[in-house]
Amino acid sequence: MTAPLIEIAGLSKRFDLRVGAFGERSATVHALDDFTATVIEGETLSLVGESGCGKSTTGFCLLNLHRPTGGSVRYRGQEIAGLDEDAMRPLRRELQIVFQDPYSTLNPRMTIGEALAEPILFHGLATKADLPARVTRLLADVGLTPRFANRYPHELSGGQRQRVAIARALACEPRFIVCDEAISALDVSVQAQILNLLLDLQEKYGLTYLFIAHDLAVVRHISDRVGVMYLGRLAELAPAGALFSQPMHPYTRALLSAVPEPDPKSARSRQRLQGEVPSPLNPPQGCRFHTRCPIARDACRSAVPAWREVATGHHVACHAVSAPDKLNWEGTE
Amino acid sequence: MTALLDIRGLTIDIARDGGPARVVDGIDLAIQQGESVGIVGESGCGKSLTMLSLVGLLPNRIRATGGSAMFGGRDLLKLGPKELRKVRGSEIGFIFQDPMTSLNPVIRVGDQIAEALIWQKGLAKEAAQARAVELLELVGIPGPAERARAWPHELSGGMRQRVMIAMGLAGHPRLLIADEPTTALDVTIQAQIVDLVRELKDKMQMAVVWITHDLALIAGLADRIAVLYAGTVVEDAPVSAIFERPTHPYTRGLLASLPTLAGAAMERLPSIGGTPPEPGRRPPGCPFAPRCAHAVAACAEAVPRLAPVPGSDPRHRVACPVMTERAAA
């Protein structure tokens, strides 16, 4: 289970847009810069970060839903970053996505059964005769009874709709699913149900997940490895255990300390980040985090920190971190 | 000590084609002066409607049909629109979830705050604008004099929420209701906003009601927590009792299903099976009984009332006879 499923190198995405009252000026959003990582078959790789950090853009670029501006994405050895839609189509079946909002991703005029049958027929995965049995099995996979096949999306609760959205992704018999904030819109008690469902399905079908989320506590429970992004760049990527027990990047540390803990007596020293995320229209020079970083030095303002592996599988992009046992946290400014 | 706000037996109905459907079913809740109370529950449990009903802001077709809400010697539910207008803002302030849609996009933020002051305090325009700048400074907006001239779209989400807070505080209310004030914000900004409201609460000696679905967030904020399920209060206790001795099966389920940063990871989270009842399809008896692992036959018969939990904090009350009995044994 260590074979790379997807190898991503130097992936970047820029959006050109027109600004000003009459669109007289052009501007560029640096949504994703120099993203390098490997997705291993059978794992859950999570991406976390605040809004606008590029985590969803990464998911979209991997699936070629956004055409990347630069870099390469190799899926099982095949370069897919520049493929056109016709060439992508055979791969689409294996690469699926589940979105945040199950309200807007299902066609309100299709029954659940029709919505599930559509991708099965499109990819020729079953004959018309086998279809009902197939739909029933998919519904059972996501914990719904067969009678749901005749219902419409508006008759379902949010959690049930998200189950249908997952079933629809499963209908294609995928290998890789991007879960783009797939549980963020759900209530706590339902969220736990869906998380467990995702874990069950992964076990059963050997799925690989790219799990995009902003809730760090959720990510900790579901992930094998976690990548932390800030303003379009990876700040840190590590096995989940290491990232949460020994975070190295100052941004990861601040992010973790900002997460509220369900314990009124929790007396953690909360490290407050001042200010807000700068605009991706005009990202800071050097390390993008330097404007909010408590330990930023001159080097951080001028040079982009290198992406270094400081411990086995633990990558960090920070001038102050050179080795896990050699953290230059003190003695700066 | 009389409570600042005392809600008794509040019921709220939605008018529907098939007859009214009950969404809030007999809520009892008291807020003391200067207290910080969390109202916690999942979508549709009636937590926002309960608070909106106090100031006459319920949407069309939704009405408070019974109960009382005493505030400053008056029953808020019996006040007319004119009197309610005097209560809104100057006695009870609101902060809503979504600062994007709550601000008028074509009025400068300073003028929006000043407008509230002119209405509520009868200030002259100049004085109101000067006060608006002070309020922006109070909520930690850098360069408040310039920012007062900004349009809402020029501000970030966190800054907009600060403007909303400034508006909520403009009338110097005795009670501030914060309805999911940080749900739309990123976690680092959320931490800033929460600190701000907590600090202002002490400075202005207000009572604050936090409406939220986030148990982890409320743990560090509230003195007391009321857990709502399907339009009823199922547990009401000091915050330490809720987290140390959660008693209602629903509260326990909620806490157990919370993923945390501490403790063991990579295992199945315990989850509550099923979904809350829809309005109009409330089960008879305890609304949680169909999802409850501890339900007995009696649960389906009578709606349980809040009762003290034996052996816990005297203010710890729970609406579950099964668990109360078990605690006494």
Phi, then psi, of A12 in degrees rounded to 5: -140, 155
| Single-letter amino acid code for the residue at A132 | P
Structural domain A4-94+174-260+269-327, CATH architecture: 3-Layer(aba) Sandwich (3.40)
pLDDT of residue A326: 61
A181/A53 Cα distance (integer angstroms): 14
Contact B187 A216 (CB under 8 A): yes
Say which of A187, A260, A270 has its CB closest to residue B43: A187
Q: Residue A20 has which token pair?
A: 């000003």
Task: For residue B255, list chain A residues with Cβ-Cβ distance below 8 A.
Answer: 262
pLDDT of residue A331: 44
pLDDT of residue B144: 92
pLDDT of residue B257: 87
pLDDT of residue A269: 56
- Residues B21-78: pLDDT tens digits? 999 999 999 999 999 999 999 888 899 999 999 999 898 899 999 999 999 899 999 9
Say which of A188, A214, A215 has its CB closest to residue B213: A188
A52/B174 Cα distance (integer angstroms): 37
- Residues B235-272: pLDDT tens digits? 999 999 999 999 999 999 999 888 888 766 656 788 88
- For chain A, the structural domain boundaries read 4-94+174-260+269-327
Residue A72, sorted as left (phi over 0), alpha (psi -120 to 50) or beta, turns out to be beta
Contact A240 B265 (CB under 8 A): yes
Cβ contacts of residue A292 below 8 Å, gap of 6+? A251, A254, A273, A274, A275, A277
Contact B42 A187 (CB under 8 A): yes
Residue of A nearest to B291 (CA): A189
Task: For residue A258, list chain B residues with Cβ-Cβ distance below 8 A.
Answer: 187-188, 190-191
Cβ contacts of residue A301 below 8 Å, gap of 6+? A284, A285, A286, A287, A290
Contact A217 B260 (CB under 8 A): yes
- Residues B84-127: pLDDT tens digits? 988 988 899 999 877 778 889 999 999 999 998 898 888 999 99
Identify the three-state secondary structure at position B3: coil
Q: Please say whether the dihedral angle defined by the alpha carbons of residues A94, A100, A105 and A110, taken in this order, is positive or negative.
A: positive
Substitution target in A53, A181, A187 with the highest count of B β-carbons within 10 Å is A187
pLDDT of residue A327: 59
Kindly tell me if the per-residue pLDDT of B289 is higher than 80: yes
Task: For residue A266, list chain B residues with Cβ-Cβ distance below 8 A.
Answer: 219-220
Contact A259 B187 (CB under 8 A): yes
- Residues B145-158: pLDDT tens digits? 999 999 998 888 88
Substitution target in A103, A156, A181, A189 with the highest count of B β-carbons within 10 Å is A189
What are the average pLDDT values for consecutive 10-residue runs of chain A, which has 333 residues?
Answer: 86 86 81 94 94 90 92 93 89 92 86 94 90 94 92 89 93 94 83 91 95 90 94 95 92 90 68 80 91 89 92 92 64 41
Say which of B187, B254, B262 has its CB closest to residue A261: B262
Task: For residue A193, list chain B residues with Cβ-Cβ distance below 8 A.
Answer: 271-273
Residue owning tokens 């009197």: B83
Contact B188 A220 (CB under 8 A): no
Contact A221 B186 (CB under 8 A): no
| Single-letter amino acid code for the residue at A144 | L
pLDDT of residue B185: 81
Task: For residue A263, list chain B residues with Cβ-Cβ distance below 8 A.
Answer: 219, 243, 262
Rounded to a whole number of angstroms, the distance from the CA of A255 to the nearest CA of chain B is 6
Contact B261 A192 (CB under 8 A): no
Q: Is A319 exposed, middle or buried (0-12, 13-18, 19+ CB in 10 A)?
A: buried
Cβ contacts of residue B183 below 8 Å, gap of 6+? B97, B212, B213, B214
Kindly list the residues of chain B whose beta carbon comes within 8 Å of any beta carbon in chain A.
Answer: 42-43, 156-159, 186-192, 194-195, 213-217, 219-220, 239-240, 243, 253-255, 257-262, 265-273, 275
Residue A316 contacts residue A88 (beta carbons within 8 Å): no
| Single-letter amino acid code for the residue at B62 | I
Rounded to a whole number of angstroms, the distance from the CA of B220 to the nearest CA of chain A is 5
Rounded to a whole number of angstroms, the distance from the CA of A187 to the nearest CA of chain B is 6
Beta-carbon neighbour count of residue A211 at 10 Å?
Answer: 27
Rounded to a whole number of angstroms, the distance from the CA of A81 to the nearest CA of chain B is 30
